[in-house]
Amino acid sequence: MTNKLILNNVDKVFGDGDSSVKVLNKVSLEVKAGEFVAVVGPSGSGKSTFLSIAGALLSPTNGRIIIDGKDISKLSEKKMNRIRLEKIGFVFQSSNLIPYLTVHDQLLLIPKLARNFNKKAKQRAVDLLERLDLGHRSNSYPQSLSGGERQRVAIARAWMNDPEIILADEPTASLDSERGRSVVKMLADEVKLREKSAIMVTHDKRMLDLCDRTVFIEDGKLSELT
């Protein structure tokens, strides 16, 4: 099976009656193993909504989502949560770190939630922090980190459960361009080397050459940019 993530004819409507807004309109996308897709488009066009649906954080109004061969469109909340924990790593624009946990413990929270906390998970946290140049920050709390460091912790955390699919919503917004590029390059390498799939929403056109292809969302419609 080559498609890790399939969205098929997805609609998303917020609200109901006269005040309802259709934010996504028959959006379809297939992402293969080893493929890194960029999403661009104006602010308010539905990019974050799209990413949330792709990652089972939000249910679609219509349409199907297939994650790693499994149709999740009609699963219970509990099953959806499980699939999200096992298969998906999120990186958001703001790092969303937990203020009272050290960098190391932010990472370990993930295997704890997934109930597979063990020696291997501990080692993985150490390795990831090293790789993202955060080894010396292991025992620090978020408030003492720079914006760039926080974002790298968020990225390390997203990789913690070794997800098949990585979804990143403007992950470089708080990084300087050099650091931003190196983080996206790392993501691109991980995708290629380990046959992962990734979708990244970005405003930064300089990142697009690191992706395999770019899609465009405008007024809730998705189109391929070629």
Ligand X SMILES: Nc1ncnc2c1ncn2[C@@H]1O[C@H](COP(=O)(O)OP(=O)(O)O)[C@@H](O)[C@H]1O
Q: Which parts of this chain interact with ligand X (CB under 6 A)?
A: 14, 21, 23, 41, 43-49
Minimum separation from the CB atom of position 194 to ligand X (A):
28
Q: Which does 43 bind (CB under 5 to 8 A by kind): Mg ion, ligand X, none?
A: ligand X
Buried b (16+ CB within 10 A) or exposed e, 112-124: eeeeeeeeebeeb
Gap between the Cα atoms of 56 and 71, Å rounded: 11
Contact 139, 123 (CB under 8 A): no
**Least distance (Å) between residue 201 CB and ligand X:** 7
Least Å distance, CB 220 to ligand X, is 8
Interaction between residue 172 and Mg ion (CB under 5 A): no
- CA separation for the pair 105, 16 (Å, rounded): 41
- Of the pair 47, 124, the CB lying nearest Mg ion is at 47
Q: Are 192 and 30 in contact (CB under 8 A)?
A: no
- CB-nearer residue toward ligand X: 46 or 148: 46
Nearer to Mg ion, 48 or 106 (CB): 48
DSSP 19: G
Q: Which of Mg ion, ligand X, none does residue 46 bind to, with CB < 5 to 8 Å depending on kind?
A: ligand X
Place of tokens 């390390």: 156
Residue in 45, 48, 95, 172 binding Mg ion, rule: CB under 5 A: 48
Given ligand X, Mg ion, none, residue 49, with its beta carbon under 5 to 8 Å by kind, binds ligand X
Is 25 strand, coil or helix? strand
Type of residue at 105: D
Query: Up-side HSE of residue 134: CA atoms within 13 Å toward CB?
Result: 32
Looking at the Cβ atoms of 122 and 221, the one nearer to Mg ion is 221
- Closer of 117 and 216 to ligand X (Cβ): 216
Token readout for 183 is 């983080």
Considering the complex, what minimum distance in angstroms separates the CB of residue 212 from ligand X?
A: 21
